[in-house]
Amino acid sequence: MSQNLKNKNIAILYICTGSYGIFWKDFFDSSEAFFLRDYKKHYFVFTDDIALNEKYEKNKSITFIYQERLGWPFDTLKRFHMFSMILDELKKYDFIYFINANTKILKEIGEEVLPDNTDQIVACLHPGYFSSNRSKFPYEKNRHSEAYISKKSGTYYFAGGFNGGTNKSYIKLISNLKNNIDKDLSSNIIAIWHDESHINKYLSNFKNIKILDPGYLYPEGWNIPFEKKILVKDKTNYGGHKVLRNESIKSKSLFKKIWHRLRKL
């Protein structure tokens, strides 16, 4: 570990509302074993799983923040709203990372994922589009959305499941994306891939990115030409999206209503 980095501390943001608490133990154990293990890490876990809180309440490296389910797609779309609630706390940390719930870290991950300077964002190429032509990227095409990317913009398509940066760069990202998502919602717009669409828009105008290969978000059961470092578990082995999201009629109805409206714009 570099001498000038040995005293740095890291905040890890993790969301497991509803049934997603099933993924926590594997993630936490693997993160402690392999993710920047020479650094002091603190986990901020947004959850409504009281049992999870009680089980780990004596662990001083974890802060549980009660977060009720918002319903699909708001559980993912509003993740930056969740993070914005603890901005003052996050300012105490040198580096901040978000990692998806259904992940397990398989190999040692070290300083290669740390930003090289104070303004840098760390982002991972999407495993489904790393070799695709720019025209195939699923950018938001609705010109009225804050996540809209024109045909002349965008070079990469980033996954939303693993990203980070210095406290300065990542707190700025949190605030920017929260505001942009609020603007969209005030116009009854939901970007096609929710928070991921907004991340890609933000990064399309951001020049200081440390780009990680898709091995840092390697989908279970896939075969792509990268070293498998962070496994993204196949949700179908846990009941699938609908079971894990516990989608309610109300949330689906609202989503459909907004979706149909934005598609007409």
Do residues 190 and 259 touch, judged by C-beta distance below 8 A?
yes
Mean pLDDT of 219-244: 90
Residue 164 class from Cβ within 10 Å (0-12 exposed, 13-18 middle, 19+ buried)? buried
Structural domain contains residue 2: no
Domain that residue 205 falls in: 7-263
For residue 35, give both structure tokens.
Answer: 């993710």
If you write DSSP's letter for every residue of 128-184 in order, what string do you get?
TTTTS-GGGS--B--TTSTTB--TT--S--EEEEEEEEEHHHHHHHHHHHHHHHHHH
63-74: string of b/e by CB count within 10 Å (b at 16+)?
Answer: ebbebebbbbbb
Give the C-alpha separation, 214 to 226, whole Å: 7
DSSP-H helix ranges across the chain: 24-34, 50-56, 74-77, 79-84, 87-90, 167-186, 194-204, 240-245, 249-263
Proportion of the chain above pLDDT 70, given as a percent: 89
Structural domain contains residue 1: no
List pLDDT tens digits, range 162-179: 999 999 999 999 999 999
Q: Is 121 strand, coil or helix?
A: strand
- Residue 248 CA to chain centroid, in angstroms? 23
For residue 105, give both structure tokens.
Answer: 């870290």
Structural domain contains residue 183: yes
Give the C-alpha separation, 210 to 196, whole Å: 17
Structural domain contains residue 121: yes
Count of structural domains, the chain = 1
List pLDDT tens digits, range 70-82: 999 999 999 999 9
Give the C-alpha separation, 221 to 235, whole Å: 11
Give the C-alpha separation, 197 to 231, whole Å: 22
Q: What is the pLDDT of residue 95?
A: 98
Give the sign of the dihedral formed by CA 10, CA 91, CA 172, CA 255.
positive
Mean pLDDT of 244-249: 59
Nearest to 65 by CA among 111, 18, 14: 14
Q: What is the pLDDT of residue 251?
A: 47
List pLDDT tens digits, range 159-218: 999 999 999 999 999 999 999 999 999 999 999 999 999 999 999 999 999 999 999 999
Mean pLDDT of the chain: 92
Task: State residue 143 phi and psi, 5-degree precision.
Answer: -60, -20
List pLDDT tens digits, range 123-145: 999 999 999 999 999 999 999 99
- What is the CATH number for 46? 3.90.550.10
180's CB contacts (< 8 A; 6+ apart) are: 146, 147, 198, 201, 202
Structural domain contains residue 24: yes
Nearest to 80 by CA among 214, 223, 236, 196: 196
Give the C-alpha separation, 216 to 232, whole Å: 9
